[in-house]
Amino acid sequence: MSHWIFTEEHQMFRKAVRNFLEKEVAPQIEQWEKDGETPSSLFKRMGELGYLGIKFPEEYGGSGLDLIMEAVFTEELSKCGAGGVGAAIGAHTTIAMTNIWRYGSHEQKQKYLVPGIKGDLISALAITEPSGGSDVSAMKTTAKKEGDYYLLNGSKTFITNGINADYVIVAAKTREEPVHRNVSLFIVETNSEGYSVGKSLKKLGWRSSDTGELFFENVRVPKENLIGRENEGFLYIMQNFQYERMTLALGCIGASEKALELAIQYSKERIQFNKPLSEFQVLRHKMVDMAVDIEKARNISYRALYLYNKGENCVTEATMAKAYATEMLNRVTDQALQIHGGNGYMMEYPIQRIWRDARIQTIGGGTTQIMNEILTKQLGIIS
């Protein structure tokens, strides 16, 4: 559906992205799912087309466009049929490189952001650890300053692009206390001595993105690779969570639209009791309910996007968008699979992949339960 937030320029861009994805991405998805990764060639191709630098300044090779334009790209990418592709590209542009853009030095942007925008280097963000997920402040990875370097020790897990990344933004403790003022972010090149990658993790969904374990054993990180100020990393992570969660919500809207589209198409083609499924009232109404659910998520998410693009604080709106849109996606994909019946459970039907890919959304980027806890404070329910 059209929406007032998008201009004619946004809609023209949407058509261009959709055309590219249909021609160059969709035909490759099955192979990438088997390979367990999005190839570096796609990053390179998207870099050539300017898709990796939509919001980044022209000074560093970006397009300098608004965040709404990047939102269009996010929505369309999520409709390509494989959540893993969107996860791989999003981890690079939205989650990792954004930290360099917002908090990094000019030298860091020249060295890492510029080739990242071109697709010559792939990036990842490493926060989650084996001993804890949602509790960022409980991380055990440390970075101790020694002369012109920081000695990095610890491990990370569930890192999207972790297998193939050329550099990783790593969160580590640079002192013990005070909590929330003791974490720093570092750019770590993956060819550094003492840096190693564990096994490629096998996942229920997002199979076309590589997910890995990372290990650091006395990795010498040059002091100039510290992003922003020492001990301010937790603040940077929390600030970027607003946009990350909003992006996840937008991706859910795109994926749910694809699921509904497949359900409608199947209901018109599948004949049962001598008539198409679309002629059964209960199924027609089910699809209407799915469309309404998507529209609710869309308006909550676009409201957050509008405020964020204006530079306003939108913690409440972005958190609501993430909480509602991710749960909505699970509902819609589950109903879409149900409409497919037994065929929906078969691997040759794409709805099964969209259903599997959807499940991570209420976990990654902050669980629904964490979102609800944030909202209880934002709404003044608890102090």
The whole-chain average pLDDT of the chain stands at 96
Can you tell me the distance from the alpha carbon of 381 to that of 383, in angstroms, rounded to the nearest whole number?
7
CA–CA dist 198, 43 (Å, integer): 23
Query: Rounded mean pLDDT of 184-191?
Result: 98
- Position 108 confidence tier, pLDDT thresholds 50, 70, 90: very high
Nearest by Cα to 365 from 222, 202, 198, 250: 250
Domains and CATH numbers, the chain: 8-121 (1.10.540.10), 125-231 (2.40.110.10), 234-378 (1.20.140.10)
From 76, 244, 257, 317, active-site residue: 244
Torsional class of 21: left (φ above 0), alpha (ψ -120 to 50), beta (otherwise):
alpha
244 is catalytic: yes
Q: Please tell me the pTM assigned to this model.
A: 0.95
Whole-number pLDDT of residue 1: 58
pLDDT digits (tens, 9 = 90+) for 193-242: 999 999 999 999 999 999 999 999 999 999 999 999 999 999 999 999 89
Quote the percentage of the chain above a pLDDT of 70. Answer: 99
User: Cα 96 to the chain's mean position, in Å?
Assistant: 10
**pLDDT digit string (tens) for 112-131?**
999 999 999 999 999 999 98
Instruction: List, for residues 121-168, the tens digit of each pLDDT value.
Output: 999 999 999 987 778 878 999 999 999 999 999 999 999 999 999 999
CA–CA distance, 251 with 235 (Å, rounded to integer): 25
Q: How many CA atoms lie within 13 A of 268 on its CB side?
A: 5
